[in-house]
Amino acid sequence: MSETEHPGAISLEDGDALGPEAAELIRAWINDEGLASVWIAAYRLKDPNIFGHFLADVARHGARAYASTYDMDEGEALQAIVDGISQQLRDQFSTITTIQDGSLN
C-alpha cells in the first residue's frame, strides 16, 4: 500500500499528531461531479452499530466545521447534513460499486 499523500488530502496541523493506538477507519474522497470513493476498514469495528455512532460523530464534527467555515448556525448545518444523509439513504435508484470486498486484515 502506498503512503503517498494525494494533493487534495487534508493535512494534520502541528499538535494534531495521532497516538500509536489510532487507526484509520474511513478514507473518503469526492470528485467534481459529486461522486464518492470510499474505503472502510470494517475489521477495526466489529459491531456495525458502533460504526453508526462513528458516523454520527463525523456528522457533528462536520456541522461544526461548516458553521465555523461559512459563518452559519451549527444546528442548521447539522440539520442540513442529516437531511442529506436521509435523502441519500432513501434513494432506491442509486447503486454502490464496491472496489473490494471486506476482510479481517
**Residue at 15 is within a domain:** no
Q: What is the DSSP string of 36-105?
A: EEEEE-GGG-S-HHHHHHHHHHHHHHHHHHHHHHHT--HHHHHHHHHHHHHHHHH--S-----SS-----
**Residue at 13 is within a domain:** no
Cell 470486498 belongs to residue: 101
**Residue at 57 is within a domain:** yes
Q: Is the Cβ–Cβ distance between 59 and 81 less than 8 Å?
A: yes
Q: pLDDT tens across 54-71, in order?
A: 999 999 999 999 999 999
What is residue 2's predicted lDDT score, i.e. its pLDDT? 47
**0.75 exceeded by pTM:** yes
In one letter, which amino acid is 22?
A
Count structural domains, the chain: 1
**Residue at 1 is within a domain:** no
The dihedrals phi and psi of 35, each to the nearest 5 degrees, come to -90, 135
User: Domain of 83: which CATH number?
Assistant: 3.30.2370.10
**Per-residue pLDDT for the chain (105 aa), expressed as one digit of tens each?**
445 678 888 887 777 778 889 899 999 999 999 888 899 999 999 999 999 999 999 999 999 999 999 999 999 999 999 999 999 888 766 677 776 677 765
Domain encompassing residue 58: 26-90
30, containing H or E segment: strand 26-30
